[in-house]
């Protein structure tokens, strides 16, 4: 098992819009454009079709986080303003609030939640990695301490050949364990002497 996990399995757990951010932008752009066209074709101010801007705003906020979510909400508001100016529609204060506030609030809230989820996932991966390193450190410590203790006992028992052989085996085992950790960390170097 790798200390840092497999990049492909981490990517496989990500939703499509995080795996393919360009596709998420294309889909969001198509949603913005679709709602805009529907809004221009049907210029009735009573129609609530502008609430459909929440779909691309939500997609962008979840895919890209707080800043992008707020920017998408602002784009939706700009499109509302442009529609009002282009059609000469008169919206009262409640009409403006109903068409603008949800977009901005949704972009902010979902974007913030998305950023928090990313940070929590990064922290979880960091903790998992730390726990794995801890287990591997315990294993290395146990292997080395046991090998050195066995070598010491052999030396104290008057069997220097057995003690030296055990010590040499322990040194090779230590080098292998540490080299394996270095390879897992992606450093690609070995500590074995030439």
Quote the DSSP letter at residue 53.
G
Question: pLDDT averaged over the chain?
Answer: 82
Yes or no: say if 62 and 17 are a contact pair by the CB < 8 Å rule.
yes
Mean pLDDT for the stretch of residues 115-130? 91
C-alpha–C-alpha distance, residues 132 and 127, integer Å? 9
pLDDT interval class at 74 (50, 70, 90): very high
The domains of the chain are located at 7-124, 127-184
Mean pLDDT of 24-42: 84
pLDDT tens sequence across 133-188: 788 778 877 888 888 888 888 888 898 898 889 888 888 888 887 787 778 776 55
Q: What is the pLDDT of residue 95?
A: 84
pLDDT at 189 over 70: no
What is the pLDDT averaged over residues 118-133?
A: 88
What per-residue confidence (pLDDT) applies to 131?
84
For 38-70, what is each residue's pLDDT tens digit?
A: 877 776 656 677 788 899 999 999 999 999 999
pTM of whole model > 0.75? no
**Taking 60 as the threshold, does the pLDDT of residue 10 lie above it?**
no
Yes or no: say if 59 and 27 are a contact pair by the CB < 8 Å rule. Answer: yes
| Under 8 Å between Cβ of 42 and 83 | no
- Among residues of the chain, what percentage have pLDDT more than 90? 25
Give the per-residue pLDDT at 151: 85
pLDDT at 65: 95
pLDDT > 50? residue 4: no
Complete DSSP assignment for 54-119: HHHHHHHHHHH-HHHHHHHHHHHHHHHHHHHHHHT----HHHHHHHHHHHHHHHHHHHHHHHHHHH
**What is the structure's pLDDT at 182?**
78
pLDDT of residue 104: 94
């Amino acid at each position: 098992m790798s200390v840092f996990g497999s990049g492909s399995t981490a990517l496989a757990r990500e939703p499509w819009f995080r795996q393919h951010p360009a596709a998420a932008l294309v889909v969001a752009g198509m949603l913005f454009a679709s709602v805009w066209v529907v809004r221009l074709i049907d210029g009735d101010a009573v129609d609530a079709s502008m609430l459909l801007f929440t779909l691309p705003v939500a997609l962008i906020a979840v895919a890209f986080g707080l800043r992008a979510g707020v920017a998408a909400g602002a784009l939706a508001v700009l499109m509302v303003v442009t529609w009002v100016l282009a059609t000469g529609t008169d919206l009262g204060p409640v009409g403006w609030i109903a068409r603008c506030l949800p977009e901005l609030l949704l972009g902010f809230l979902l974007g913030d939640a998305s950023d928090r989820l990313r940070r929590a996932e990064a922290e979880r991966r960091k903790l998992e990695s730390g726990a794995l390193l801890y287990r591997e450190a315990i294993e290395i410590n146990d292997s080395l301490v046991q090998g050195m203790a066995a070598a010491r006992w052999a030396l104290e028992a008057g069997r220097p050949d057995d003690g030296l052989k055990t010590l040499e085996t322990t040194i090779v085992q230590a080098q292998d364990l540490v080299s394996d950790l270095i390879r897992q960390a992606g450093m690609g170097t070995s500590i074995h002497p030439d």
